[in-house]
Structure 1
Amino acid sequence: MENTIERYIAAVVLQLPENERAEVAKELRSNIYDMLSDRPNDAEIEKVLRSMGSPTKLAEQYRQNPRYLISPQVYDEYIRLLKLLVPIVGIITVIVGAVSGVFETLQQSGPQVGRVLQVMFQSGIQSGVSGVMQTLVWTTIGFVIAERTGAFNRKKKEDWKVEDLPPLTTEKLIPISDPVAEIIGTMVFSAFLILGSTNQFAAVFTKTGPVNIAVPIFSDEFVRYLIPALIIGVVLTVIANAMKVFDRCWTNRVCLWSIIDNAVSAMMWVFLLMRENIFSSELVELLQEQTWSSGDVLHYISTGNTASIRLIISLVIVVISTIQIISVLYNRSKRDLPNSYINREQA
């Protein structure tokens, strides 16, 4: 029963705040070895650990700030669900609120960039705050009702088994901020591209004359590929990062979805960038009326000579995606704690 004691200690302290873990681990390790003989066998170790009870129950006894609105038996699942739902609901409601506010403003007052941006941020923040608050309230109410009515099938402390202890690992938990920031960045970037491809930012590119003529940024053919690719990319990013929020470590499914997200996104962007008619002919004509320096990107767009730029960007995307996939595999390989490390820590 290799490393059983350390696995038990880890299962207890990982449920405690970080500032309490070291002290509790030291005390718990001392208590366990005091109850064992000098050369304990597997059966003796298992007997001692079972006598101490399940790691979840023991962790609650060590916790300095007990919690009672949601009982200790389900509190960790409650927090786990909130950490999953709050960022996702918040992001979605922010995007929905911002987009709906933009479309409403465009219908009422036309494409006024200042007004559109103001309403976009205002509507997005209001919608996001409302979504997060409702998620907190209804999740809490749901847990309280379910627990009070006995809907949760609580396990007795005798139900746990030594064999169920999680393996030891040297990896740190994935910070919640990382996947949340990636989801927000992807959705905001995709929302701006979709708005731009549907001519919602047409006021930035207009031909002046007797009347203002809106100039589309992207060609119709490119938009037909761009929008589905953005939707697929957002869905994959949300799934991959939701797994990170839920598991908080590099499990097999987190690694699988992260690799799929990086690989598919890279292939879609390379496919999009390899298309020659990315920008609309109207935009190219508008840019040709201006004088641009030879190093300006708009100069290359106006001449239509963007092949080298598109190739460089594609190579950068492939390199970055490859590095990210290698990083995922490296993080996964660190999950199993080497025996030499454990022996060194115990010594």
Structure 2
Amino acid sequence: MEWIDVYIHEVTKRLPEKQRNDIALELKSSILDALPENYSLEDVKAVLEDLGDPAEIAKNYRDAPSYLIGPDYYDLFMTTMKMILQLAIGFAVAFIFFEGVITYLNSDQDWTYIFTAFGKGIWTVISTAIQVVFWVAIVFIIMERTGVAPYEIAGTGEKWTPDDLKNITVIPKKKGITKIDIFAAFLWTAIWGTIYFIALDRVGIYTQNNQETGLTLLTPIFNQELLLSFWPLVLIVLLCELTLTVYKWVKRQWTKSLATINTIYQLLYTILFLLIILQPNLFHSNLINELSQLFNTTTTSISSILDTIIGVSIAITIISAVYASYDGFKKSKIKNDTLL
């Protein structure tokens, strides 16, 4: 990747997405106009050095002034705040989720408790965000008042030079792993892990007798004793899934090693799924009878429907695992853009 392109990328990544293309074209035109006809690498470096730090250029392009913290500290402040916000809110949501599940299971709360827990979760997220913004702002205000330079805060100890572009790796969008993907993976692991180990007996068919009593469990769906007998294997798969998600968080892009770990996880998950779903006594003993009475049909019809659901679930799981493995290796082969 050309030095000019890397420099422009470092500028535009700090700008709103809708402005990036126009500003990239404008900035590239300005740089090329400043270069001689047969320019060399040294000419490019000289022009880029005259332009200065990409963060400063991006700040000048913004529509709104960035004076929450002093202009020289704004980009570093926003980066730090976003990073801490993600961690703090993530831990807060996880804590509220597990606390809500445990409270629900250990009390006589009905299903309406979900709304109470949801409201509490929203307030916790808001209060956590306020605390993070406040304390991070205080820290940066103190740093600015004491005269600490932004590049010293960032830990480089040096001012920006064009040679810093050599250390920049531009990850293509198709190869990158977004924060939303990582958060969704953590959330999914927390949900199914909690249901399996804590709330498996609550997964069932519910009926509402009247408004006062609320929902009543008619029958569990699964044979809880059978499913819990697989807990060592489930725990292994759960830990593998967490390891995979953490590794994604660290790498932030698909690599060959990540794709290999993903394939191993997909294989383990598929094997465990098949071991469980092919058990003849997978469902609760009362499920078929209760469903036949509920829908006014025969037990044979219900059994046939359940067999179809099992077959479709197996097909979807295998196809999804194969595609996820293939897609991981495919993305890992996409080359990053770099000057080196």
Superposition TM-score, scaled by structure 1 size: 0.70
Deviation at 1:13, TM superposition (A): 0.5
Cα distance in structure 2, aligned partners of 1:84 and 1:174: 15
Aligned to 2:112: 118
Shift of 1:226: 4.4
Displacement of 1:93 after TM fit?
A: 3.4
The answer to whether the 8 A contact 2:59-2:66 is kept is no
- Pair 1:17–1:235, CA change in 2 (3 A): farther
**Residue 158 of structure 1: aligned partner:** 160
Aligned to 1:271: 275
1 or 2, which has the higher strand percentage? 2
The 1:39–1:310 alpha-carbon spacing in structure 2 relative to 1, beyond 3 Å, is same
Q: How does 1:1-347 map to 2 (within 5 A)?
A: 2-70=1-69, 71-82=73-84, 84-85=86-87, 88-89=90-91, 91-106=93-108, 116-123=110-117, 125-147=118-140, 148-149=142-143, 152-155=153-156, 156-158=158-160, 161-167=164-170, 169=172, 171=174, 176-197=179-200, 199-200=201-202, 204=206, 217-226=222-231, 229=234, 236-237=240-241, 240=244, 249-250=253-254, 255=259, 258-259=262-263, 261-280=265-284, 282-283=285-286, 292-297=298-303, 310=310, 313-336=313-336
Alpha-carbon separation, structure 1, partners of 2:231 and 2:4: 54
Alignment gaps of 5+ in structure 2: 208-215
Gaps of at least 5 residues in structure 1 are 107-114, 206-211, 301-305, 339-347
TM-score (normalizing by structure 2): 0.71
Summarize the Cα distance change of 1:190–1:10 in structure 2 as closer, same or farther, 3 Å threshold: same
User: How far does residue 98 in structure 1 lie from its aligned partner after superposition?
Assistant: 2.7
Q: Displacement of 1:118 after TM fit?
A: 0.7
Q: Which amino acid aligns with 1:118?
A: T
Distance across 1 between alignment mates of 2:289 and 2:324: 39
In 1, Cα distance between the equivalents of 2:15 and 2:68?
18
Alpha-carbon distance between aligned partners in 2 of 1:126 and 1:265, rounded to the nearest angstrom: 34
* C-alpha distance in structure 1 between counterparts of 2:127 and 2:8, whole Å: 37
Instruction: Evaluate the alpha carbon distance shift between residue 29 and residue 221 of structure 1 in structure 2; reply closer, same or farther with a 3 A threshold.
Output: same
| C-alpha deviation, 1:189, in angstroms | 4.4
Contact 1:179-1:241 within 8 A present in 2 as well: yes
With a CA cutoff of 8 Å and minimum separation of 6, indicate the structure with the bigger relative contact order: 2
Q: Deviations over 1:2-52 (max 9, x none)?
A: 512111111210111112212221121112112211122222222322332
- The aligned length equals 313
